[in-house]
Each structure stands twice: as structure tokens, then as C-alpha cells.
Structure 1
């Protein structure tokens, strides 16, 4: 479908709220379904319901509806879904720095709360193929694209538009208004990013550090989207940040596995 460059986008905060409501409703429905005894012995089906139906579906649906029904019919024109070669370098550096920061925040929170350290409990598990599907393909490739389209695409740009409005003041005030819109958009999208990942009221040091980390990650991803005006850097950063966990799991499993017998 061709890009309608002359079409004025009508998407905005209404679409953001629609995505939030869809997420809440589908999450409640899925939680009711996974409590059924028939699903108790079907962990893979439960994962598919929770990740695909409750996680990806409402965000993808609202972004596509906003773009193709209420926008320019181009994810690049509406939400900045564009990539440049430099995005790989930006994403790699930012993703690794964020992962190192996440480790530091976790340790600092643990020390402040007096929580004793515990051994790392991750790993590949008994099914490497399932690990590759969930930890690499789903968590490190699909999820970053879906979440960046919604949070740093639809949410961030809708907040910017809401602050800027139409016919805002004189040319002298325009730069200040644009800076205010950027700050509100980055902070607002970061807070909503944290809310979407809440599993309840945080009661442990690990849960608190996770929320702090999510907010910082949201701020960095939002700043990248605002500064570059495209989602390429934030998507690659998000991918590297998530993939680093899978890499740690793989290394942990390799180093803890028993030595193979030497043949010959």
C-alpha cells in the first residue's frame, strides 16, 4: 500500500489508551484461561497465550490500526520505523551499557536492602530449541520490535503531539515547546513502559531493581528515538539488552555442564 504523505495523521492518545485497554482486557482473559486445569500441563501453550495473545497482539493491533486507518499508512512515516547502518553500532554500545547498568543497579539495591546474594539461576534448560525460540527469537527479536513500535513509536509521538498541539505560539517559543514535548514524551513513555511490565507491587529487592532498570532503559530508548527521529537505534539497543540475558544463560550452562569424555 502506498504512503499517503499528504494525509494528516489522526492517531494520538486515544490510540495509546486503546492499546492499554486491549492489553489489560486480553491479559485478564488469558490469566483466566491459564488457570484452567486443562492448561496446567501445557506450559508451551500457556506461554503462547501469555506472550502472543496478551503481550504482542494488543500492541501490534493498535499500532497497525493507527497507521493504516488513522495515519499515513507507513510505519516509517508515522512512527519512524527506519534503520541506518550506524544504528547497529549505537544499539550495541547502548545495549551493553544498559545491561552493565542493570547489573550494577541490582547489586546496589541488594546491598541497600541487606538482601543476601543468591547464585544465578538461569540457563538454557533441558530443551535448547525451546530456549532458542523463547529467549532468542521471541524475547530478543520480536518483543523489541513490537514494544518499540508501541512505546517509542505510537506512545512517544502521541505525547509529543499532545504537548505541541496546533498553532502553538510564536516562532521564538517554538524551540522551548519542542524541548518540553520531548521531555514529557520520553518520561511519559518510560513510565508506561514500566507499568506494562508490572507483575504486581514490588516486594523484593530484585523486583525494585527491575522496575528502576526498566525506567532507565525506557529513558535511554526514548532519548534515542527523539534524537534520531527513527526507531532503528532503540530497536537494536532493546535487542542487545534482551539478548545479553540469553548469552549469559548460554555461558552459564556451558561452564556448569560436566566435561564431555575424550574419545579415541
Structure 2
């Protein structure tokens, strides 16, 4: 018998306040990261710049908010609060969806290229420094980022919107409406977090549209399965295909 046997379940109090806290923390720490990368001796080190931007300006605020939400305002379990669990079938489904999303993104990019006469893809070709490539293009982008972002966007954000729109005891119709709003809302915020200024080209705009569609698909997976395993794998596969494309694309010729 454990100390918690027979204890009353912890009340879940996390919600939109925590989502806003995540947005604020992201904005503040992103600004801090921008200052740090301009310090003498830092700007000339690409690996250090990428690390600061990724960890301080990206992962840290999202992870911190999710952990505080579950520990202070939830059930102290990422599985119970936000559905962080993986089943074997998630690997197959997630891989298929992730690759399918990348193919759709490439198709959209090609349509933009043909319509505007401009280059719509940004694959330079080659891997450069193999160590940095593995660290940032594979491990960071395809393993760590999907877990962190899915915990925040499809875990905290999506579920907070659902709970706000359809509190406990709501009708089935209201819960379905809440799920729709939550999927769209989390996808919009997901896209906004990846916004790097106002898009000035058709290719940049198509990238944002792609991210929004990806956010919707990942949100639907989270709602349908009630867990984050499928969306994490799909997100990771979607990002990993960029590394694969960089490997198979001939290096750009300059000069």
C-alpha cells in the first residue's frame, strides 16, 4: 500500500492562465536569447548560437510552464494531465502521417514555385559538420522539439481550451464543439510560435500555411487518441524528413 492509496485525487486547476504564462515566458526568454547571441564571442560560434536559441528561447519556457502546471495545478503526472504516453501502434501511424505531411508540404511548395517563379524550398544540400547536423537537425529537431512542443501545444494548450469551452458535465455536442475550437486554437498558436516576422514572400506564407495544417492534423490525432504518442511521432517524422532531404539534395553551388 502506497502513501497515496485511498487519497482524494488532486483537483486539476491548470488551464488558459497557464497557456498565457507559456506565451509570456516564451516572449521573455526569446528576447533574452536574442541578447545573449549578440554578446562578444558568442555570435561567431554557430553551435552556441543555435543552442541558446533552441534551449533558452524555445524549449525552456514551454517545458517550465508544462511542468509547473502539472506539479502545482494538476495531478503531477504528464500522462494523466496531458496524455504523454506511447503505444506501439503510434509508431506506425505517426510515421505514416509525418511522412504524408512532408509530401503535402513539398507539393504546396512546388505549387508556390510554379505560381510565382521563385524557389519555394530552402534545402541547401549536404550536412556540413556531421556532429552539428546530428545534434541539431536530427536529435534536437526530430526528437526533443516534438516532445516539448506536443506537450505544450497538443497537451496543455489544446486540453485547456477544451476544458474552458466545455467544462465537466457538458453535452456531447458542446464537447465536440470544444474539440474543434481547441484543435484550431492550438494550431494557430503553434503557427504563431514559429512566426519569424511578417512573411514577405509567397514561400514564407506557404510555410506558415503548412505549419497551420500540420498543427490541425496533430491536434486531431491528439483528440482522437486522447494521448500524445501519435502526434509526437508524426511531428518527429515530419521534422526528420528535412534532415533526410538535406542529405539527398546535392550541395548548392556558389560563386
Instruction: Check if 1:199 corresponds to 2:196.
Output: yes
More displaced 10-residue stretch of structure 1: 174-183 or 36-45: 36-45
Does the Cα contact within 8 Å between 2:120 and 2:203 map onto a contact in 1?
A: no
Number of residues of Structure 1 aligned to a counterpart in Structure 2 = 249
Instruction: Decide which of 142, 152, 156 is 1:154's aligned counterpart.
Output: 156
Structure 1 residue aligned with 2:73: 70
Can you list the C-alpha shifts for 1:119-154, whole angstroms capped at 9, x where unaligned?
8413201x1111001111000000000000000000
TM-score w.r.t. the length of structure 1 is: 0.89
> How far does residue 111 in structure 1 lie from its aligned partner after superposition?
2.4
Instruction: Check if 1:236 corresponds to 2:233.
Output: yes
RMSD: 2.0
Q: Higher Cα Rg: structure 1 or 2?
A: 1
What SS is found at the alignment partner of 1:165? coil
Instruction: Check if 1:10 corresponds to 2:13.
Output: yes
Instruction: Decide which of 141, 144, 148 is 1:142's aligned counterpart.
Output: 144
- Where does structure 1 lack aligned partners over 5 or more consecutive residues? 169-173, 258-264
**Alpha-carbon distance change, 149 to 117 in structure 1, aligned in 2, over 3 angstroms:** closer
**Alpha-carbon distance change, 109 to 46 in structure 1, aligned in 2, over 3 angstroms:** same
Instruction: Decide which of 32, 42, 47 is 1:44's aligned counterpart.
Output: 47
Does the Cα contact within 8 Å between 2:112 and 2:120 map onto a contact in 1?
A: no
**Alpha-carbon distance change, 26 to 134 in structure 1, aligned in 2, over 3 angstroms:** same
Does the Cα contact within 8 Å between 2:13 and 2:74 map onto a contact in 1?
A: yes
Can you list the C-alpha shifts for 1:67-122, whole angstroms capped at 9, x where unaligned?
11110010000000011111011111101110000001111122233325678413
**Alpha-carbon distance change, 162 to 176 in structure 1, aligned in 2, over 3 angstroms:** same
Instruction: Decide which of 95, 98, 101 is 2:101's aligned counterpart.
Output: 98
